[in-house]
């Protein structure tokens, strides 16, 4: 098949999708990270299954390429509204739109509002989610258009905030109701103190401006725990709930998990000397004693923020390898290939600090700072019944004692 024929086939397939309205919509819940209540659902659009345009990025990239983004955006929006007519109570529906689409005469005429009324929905339930990936060139005109939608009852969210300069400007220029923090800032935030501090700044900014933050792309328990510790109010991601074709309830286990993490946060803020080390535990993967230094090098090379790796014999910790010490020894060895093939026993710390999960963090801090100066910042290994369950970086201990400027413990009723 010629290149020309291939292009024509794609064009025909795309226009058939528009003509036949073959857009599928799924919904991903956005949860309160304080009480696990559902704030709303984000509508996610795809092309038909088994189609080249099934992945959303291919669908929308092609629409932009042939200058048909307005038509596609409208179809996705109307499909989402149609599927949302059974939305529960006062939950919100987040609809992604390209910033330039709001200049579309079809959009301005109020067609979406009429469609909402047809399906017994109100504009107050709709959040227009503006992605930062399309630059806004005229903010004055853009804000005038947004003002019109706000007056109709729509709320505005900025999507993918933190993924580039345009998103930062977008959220300062248009004063949205919600800011969705890009998943690139959420990924492995439990292991990245710079990301963590940046998110704290976002949280302070949101409190001053009364803009609600939503963390996107939460995929692990440790990411969830860290976001709750910081105080991010809302979140979404595969760890909380995957996109579904209907509005699903939240698993009871997750509800309990969020409740427990918030209780732990309060305990750390007001009663730090009663908190156990297990409350700060981060469940890092470990390696076995029969691995080699090559395994360690590969893990560190692909996990830049990881500073240490625990060595196990079956399920019990027997050693610790910290990044700085590992590469110091590697640089000292004139035969690096030989170094990488060496067993771990030649490089690991055989006497790391190993504490039971029930150890209170005040006692753990005492043990940690009593180590030799060269090991003061090494991870604390956490066990339960002598079996490995995770690590606690020293920064976690410091953070626990400085949250909300902890002072003297108040009287406890």
Band of pLDDT at residue 237, cut at 50, 70 and 90: very high
Q: Domain containing 391 — which CATH number?
A: 3.10.580.10
**In this structure, are 255 and 185 located in the same domain?**
yes
**In this structure, are 57 and 86 located in the same domain?**
yes
End-of-domain residue from the set 270, 289, 310? 270
Would 410 be classed as within a structural domain?
no
- Print the domain residue range for 71: 3-270
**In this structure, are 98 and 230 located in the same domain?**
yes
**In this structure, are 298 and 228 located in the same domain?**
no
End-of-domain residue from the set 230, 251, 270? 270
**In this structure, are 228 and 369 located in the same domain?**
no
**In this structure, are 90 and 201 located in the same domain?**
yes
**Rounded-to-integer distance, Cα 400 and Cα 402, Å:** 6
**Rounded-to-integer distance, Cα 196 and Cα 181, Å:** 12
Would 409 be classed as within a structural domain?
no
**Is a pLDDT exceeding 70 seen at residue 230?**
yes
End-of-domain residue from the set 239, 270, 301? 270
Would 7 be classed as within a structural domain?
yes
The residue among 248, 253, 256, 217 whose CA lies nearest residue 234 is 217
pTM of the full predicted structure?
0.77
Mean pLDDT value across residues 153-181: 77
**In this structure, are 297 and 231 located in the same domain?**
no
Q: Domain containing 67 — which CATH number?
A: 3.20.20.450
**Is a pLDDT exceeding 50 seen at residue 412?**
no
**Is a pLDDT exceeding 70 seen at residue 260?**
yes
**In this structure, are 224 and 241 located in the same domain?**
yes
Q: DSSP string covering 318-348, please? A: EEEEEHHHHHHHHHH-S-HHHHHTSBGGGTS
**In this structure, are 261 and 283 located in the same domain?**
no
**In this structure, are 127 and 41 located in the same domain?**
yes
Would 394 be classed as within a structural domain?
yes
Mean pLDDT value across residues 324-328: 93
Do the Cβ atoms of 41 and 28 come closer than 8 Å? yes
Burial class (CB in 10 A: 0-12, 13-18, 19+), 401: middle
Would 411 be classed as within a structural domain?
no
**Is a pLDDT exceeding 50 seen at residue 411?**
no
Q: What is the enclosing helix (H) or strand (E) of 165?
A: helix 165-174
Residue 2's pLDDT is what?
42
Q: What is the mean pLDDT of the chain?
A: 84
Q: DSSP string covering 333-396, please? A: -S-HHHHHTSBGGGTSBSS--EEETTSBHHHHHHHHHTS-GGGTTSPEEEEETTEEEEEE-HHH
Mean pLDDT value across residues 397-404: 72
Would 15 be classed as within a structural domain?
yes
* Range with lowest mean pLDDT among 76-90, 183-197, 356-370: 76-90
Mean pLDDT value across residues 112-134: 77
Number of domains observed in the structure of the chain: 2
**Is a pLDDT exceeding 90 seen at residue 287?**
yes
| pLDDT tens-digit map of 48-62 | 888 899 888 898 889
**In this structure, are 191 and 74 located in the same domain?**
yes
**In this structure, are 163 and 19 located in the same domain?**
yes
C-alpha distances (whole Å) from 207 to each of 178, 211, 317, 339, 373 are 12, 7, 42, 51, 40
User: 352 is written with which tokens?
Assistant: 């790391």
Would 347 be classed as within a structural domain?
yes
**Is a pLDDT exceeding 90 seen at residue 231?**
yes
| pLDDT tens-digit map of 132-148 | 555 566 777 777 778 87
């Amino acid at each position: 098949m010629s290149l020309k024929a291939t292009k024509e086939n794609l064009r025909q397939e795309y226009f058939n999708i528009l003509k036949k309205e073959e857009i599928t919509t799924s919904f991903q819940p956005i949860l309160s990270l304080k009480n696990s209540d559902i704030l709303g659902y984000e509508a996610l659009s795809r092309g038909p299954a088994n189609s080249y345009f099934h992945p959303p990025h291919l669908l929308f990239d092609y629409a932009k390429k042939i200058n048909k983004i307005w038509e596609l955006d409208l179809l996705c929006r109307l499909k989402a509204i149609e599927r949302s007519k059974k939305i529960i109570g006062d939950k919100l529906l987040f609809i992604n739109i390209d910033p330039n689409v709001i200049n579309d005469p079809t959009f301005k005429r109020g067609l979406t509002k009429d469609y909402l009324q047809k399906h017994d929905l109100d504009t107050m339930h709709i959040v227009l989610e503006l992605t930062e990936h399309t630059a806004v060139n005229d903010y004055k005109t853009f804000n005038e258009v947004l003002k019109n939608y706000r007056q109709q009852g729509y709320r505005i969210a900025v999507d993918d905030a933190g993924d580039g300069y345009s998103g930062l400007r977008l959220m300062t220029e248009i004063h949205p109701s919600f800011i969705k923090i890009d998943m690139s800032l959420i990924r492995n935030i439990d292991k990245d103190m710079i990301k963590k501090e940046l998110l704290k700044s976002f949280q302070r900014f949101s409190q001053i401006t009364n803009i609600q933050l939503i963390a996107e792309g939460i995929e692990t328990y440790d990411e969830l725990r860290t976001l709750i510790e910081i105080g991010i109010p809302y979140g979404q991601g595969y760890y909380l709930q995957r996109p579904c074709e209907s509005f699903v309830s939240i698993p009871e286990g997750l509800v309990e998990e969020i409740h427990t993490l918030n209780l732990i946060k309060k305990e750390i803020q007001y009663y730090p000397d009663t908190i156990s080390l297990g409350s700060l535990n981060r469940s890092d993967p470990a390696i076995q004693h029969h691995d080699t230094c090559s395994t360690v090098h590969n893990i560190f090379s692909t996990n830049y923020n990881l500073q240490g790796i625990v060595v196990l014999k079956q399920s019990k910790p027997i050693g610790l390898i910290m990044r700085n010490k590992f590469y110091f020894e590697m640089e000292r060895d004139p035969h690096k290939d030989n170094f990488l093939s060496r067993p771990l026993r030649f490089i690991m710390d055989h006497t790391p600090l190993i504490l039971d999960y029930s150890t209170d963090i005040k006692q753990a801090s005492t043990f940690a700072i009593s180590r030799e100066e060269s090991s003061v910042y090494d991870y604390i290994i956490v066990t339960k019944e002598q079996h490995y369950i995770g690590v606690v970086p020293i920064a976690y201990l410091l953070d626990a004692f400085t949250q909300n400027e902890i002072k003297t413990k108040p009287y406890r009723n």
